[in-house]
Structure 1
Amino acid sequence: MLHRFFPNTRRDFSSLTEQEVLALAISSEEDDARIYLAYADGLREEFPQSAKIFEEMAEEETEHRAQLIELHKKRFGDRIPLIRREHVRGYYERKPDWLVRPLGIEKVRRQAAEMEAQAHRFYVKAAQQSEDADTRKLLGELALAESGHKTAAEDLERKHVPEDVRELEDKTERRQFILTYIQPGLAGLMDGSVSTLAPIFATAFATQDTWTTFLVGLAASVGAGISMGFTEVASDDGVISGRGSPIKRGLATGIMTTVGGLGHALPYLIPHFWTATIIAMIIVVVELWAIAWIQKRWMETPWSRAIFQVVLGGALVFAAGMLIGNA
C-alpha cells in the first residue's frame, strides 16, 4: 500500500539485462568525461597545468565510451537503451561541477579519485554479472583501467604539474581563499567586534538595563552586518581585482560583522547587570585576540602590530562607550 505514496522509480542493479548494463556504462562514461571537462574549464584560468590533466582524463573516458558502444553494436545493434545513474537503486551519483564549486584544486583531485574508485566498483560488479565472454572481458579491462587511473593521474600530474608548478598553484589557491573569504570575513569581524563596543557599553552603563542593552546590541550587530555585506558586494565585482565572487565576499563580511557584534551583546540576556557586563568584557578580550591571531595566521601580520592595532583600537572604543554611558 505504501508504494502508492512512495512509488519506486529505481531498479535494482541485479535486475538489469546485459544490454542495460552496457547502456548504463556508456552513459556513465559520457557523464564522467563531461565532468572532467567542466573541471578543466573551471581550473584553466588559475591552474592551467592541472586543467590539462582533466582534459586528458576526459579523453580517456571518451575512449572507454567508444569501446563500450562498439561492443553494444556488435551484440545488440545500434539502438542504445536510455538508462542513467539516477534510474538504478544504490548506484553511485555524480554531482555536477556547479554543485561542488568553488573548484579548489585539492577538492577536485579528491573528487576525481572518488569518481574513479566508484567506477572501478561498478565495472567489477558488472563483469561478475555478465555471462558473455567478450562483455565480461571488456568490463574487466575497464575495471583495471579505472583502478589504474590513480597511477595514471599521478603520471599526468608529474607531466603537467611539476613540483614548482604545483607549489605555485597551491599558493594561488591559498591567496584566492584569503581574498574571497578570510580578508572580507576579517574586516567584518573587526567592524562588528570594535564598532559595536561603544553603543553597547554606552547603553549598558547609561541604563543598566540588560534587556535594553541586548536590543541595542542586536540592532547594531544586524544593522552593521547588513550594511557591511552590501558595501562589500557593491564595492568590487571581483573581475579586475581577482577577489572572487562579490556574493561570497558579501556573505562572509556580513555574517562575521553580525557575529562580532552579537558576541558581546548576547551576555545581556542575563538579567543581572554586572554578571552580564563582566562576561561581555571577557568575550570582547577573546574577540580581539582572535582577530589578532587571524591577522597573524592568514595575513602574516607581525604579532606586535596586530595586537597594537586591534587591542589598542578596541580599548579606545570601549573606553569611549563607558565614558559616554556614564556621562
Structure 2
Amino acid sequence: MRGLLALPFFGRRRFDSLSAQEMLALAIASEEEDGRIYALYASRLRQQYPATAAVFDDMAAEEEEHRRRLIDLYRARFGDLILPIRREHVADFYTRRPVWLVENLGLERIREEALAMEREAQAYYRAAAQRSTDAEVRRLLGDLAAAEAQHERGAEAMIAERLGGEAGTEEASAARRQFILTWVQPGVAGLMDGSVSTLAPIFATAFATQDPWTTFLVGLSASVGAGISMGFTEAAHDDGKLSGRGSPVKRGLASGVMTAIGGLGHALPYLIPNFWTATAIALAVVFVELWAIAWIQNRYMETPFRRAVFQVVLGGSLVLAAGILIGGG
C-alpha cells in the first residue's frame, strides 16, 4: 500500500475540483511553460531556419502577453500572491511532451507540435468547461478555450505569412537536404552494404550445405553483425558538427537498421524447409533489393541511374555469383 501511495497520481487534485483562483493560477503557469517552449524552439532553430525561428519568437511573445493579462486579472480578483500550482499537480490536466523528444525531430514535426500544443489546450479547456458545475469556473474555462483557439489561428496565420514566400522555400529545401544527409544517405549506404556484403556468405553456405536452417542462421548472424558494425562506424566517425550531417545517433541508427534489413531480406526465405524453394525466393528478393537500391540512389541521392545500376546491380550480381561458385565448388 505504501508503494501504491507513492505513485505520481496520488496526492494530485482533480481538475474539476479546482477553485477559480486555482484555475487562474494554473493557466498562468501553463502559459509561462508554453512561452518557454516556444522560445527554446526559436533558439534551437535560429541559425538554420531563421524564418521558422521568427514564428516561434512571435508565438512566445503572444504567450507572454496572454500571461500578463491573466496576471492582471488574478491580481484584481485575488491579490499579488499567485498560488504555486502547475500541470503536474492536477491529475487530469493535459501534459506537454518533453522538449528533447521533439526538438531533435524534423522542422515540419516541430511546427506541427506547436500547433498541437494550442489545439490540446483549447480542446481540454472546452471539455473541462462542459463538465464543470461551477458557473464561475465554467466561464473561466470557456474564456481560456476561446483564447487558445485564437492562439491556434494566429499561429497558423504567422506560419503562412512568414513561410509563404522565398523563406519558406529555402527552409523546405534545407529541411529536405538535412533529412537526406541524416537519414537517407546513411540508410541507403547501410542497405547497400547489408544487401551486397551478405550475399557471398549466405549463398556460399546455402550451396555448400543445402541446409536451409544452417543458411538462415549464417544469414541472421551476418546481417545482425554487419548492422551493429555499420551503425557504430557511422556514429563514431563523424559527430556531424563540421559536416552538417546531423546527429550521429540518428545516422548510426539509420545505417545499422538498414544494413541488418538488407541482409535479412535474402536470409529470411531460408526459413522455408525446402532448399530449392527457399533459394528461388531468396534470388528473387536479391533482384528486387538491388534494383530498389539503384532507384533510391537515383531518387534521393541524385546518382545517375546508369551509374547506380553499375555500382549496385552489377556489383551485387558479381558478389552473388562469387558466393554461389564458392559454395557450389
Does residue 181 (structure 1) correspond to residue 183 (structure 2)? The answer is yes
Structure 2 CA distance for aligned equivalents of residues 16 and 24 of structure 1: 9
Structure 2 CA distance for aligned equivalents of residues 159 and 11 of structure 1: 41
Does residue 107 (structure 1) correspond to residue 116 (structure 2)? The answer is no
Structure 2 CA distance for aligned equivalents of residues 260 and 309 of structure 1: 16
Deviations 1:29-75 (A, max 9, x none): 01110111111122112101110111111111111112212222222
Contact 2:87 2:95 in 1 (8 A): yes
The TM-score with structure 1 as length reference comes to: 0.90
1:161 Cα deviation after fit: 3.2
Equivalent residue number for residue 21 of structure 2:
19
Contact 2:163 2:169 in 1 (8 A): no
Structure 1 CA distance for aligned equivalents of residues 218 and 123 of structure 2: 58
1:143 Cα deviation after fit: 4.0
2:84 maps to which of 82, 85, 107: 82
SS in 1 for 2:67: helix
2:313 maps to which of 294, 305, 311: 311
1:139 Cα deviation after fit: 6.4
SS in 2 for 1:148: helix
Equivalent residue number for residue 255 of structure 1:
257
Equivalent residue number for residue 298 of structure 1:
300
1:159 Cα deviation after fit: 5.0
Structure-2 change in CA distance of 1:122 and 1:266 (3 Å): closer
For structure 2, the 5+ residue unaligned runs are: none
Structure-2 change in CA distance of 1:37 and 1:306 (3 Å): same
Equivalent residue number for residue 287 of structure 1:
289
1:123 Cα deviation after fit: 4.9
The TM-score with structure 2 as length reference comes to: 0.89
Contact 1:211 1:269 in 2 (8 A): yes
Deviations 1:129-152 (A, max 9, x none): 66559x95x766654443223442
1:15 Cα deviation after fit: 1.1
Structure 2 CA distance for aligned equivalents of residues 8 and 185 of structure 1: 45
Structure 1 CA distance for aligned equivalents of residues 81 and 111 of structure 2: 35
Equivalent residue number for residue 240 of structure 1:
242
Count the aligned residue pairs.
Answer: 325
Q: What is the identity, as a one-letter code, of the residue corresponding to 2:315?
A: G
Equivalent residue number for residue 30 of structure 1:
32
Deviations 1:83-105 (A, max 9, x none): 22223233221113211232422
Instruction: Give the 5 Å matches for 1:104-253.
Output: 104-124=106-126, 131=135, 136=139, 142-157=144-159, 159-253=161-255
Deviations 1:102-141 (A, max 9, x none): 24222122112122223334555677766559x95x7666
For structure 1, the 5+ residue unaligned runs are: none
Q: Percent identity?
A: 62
Q: What is the identity, as a one-letter code, of the residue corresponding to 1:50?
A: T
1:154 Cα deviation after fit: 4.1
Does residue 324 (structure 1) correspond to residue 326 (structure 2)? The answer is yes
Structure 1 CA distance for aligned equivalents of residues 305 and 316 of structure 2: 16
Structure-2 change in CA distance of 1:66 and 1:221 (3 Å): same
Structure 2 CA distance for aligned equivalents of residues 132 and 318 of structure 1: 76
Q: What is the identity, as a one-letter code, of the residue corresponding to 2:246?
A: G
Contact 2:12 2:91 in 1 (8 A): yes
1:4 Cα deviation after fit: 5.8
Contact 2:41 2:103 in 1 (8 A): no
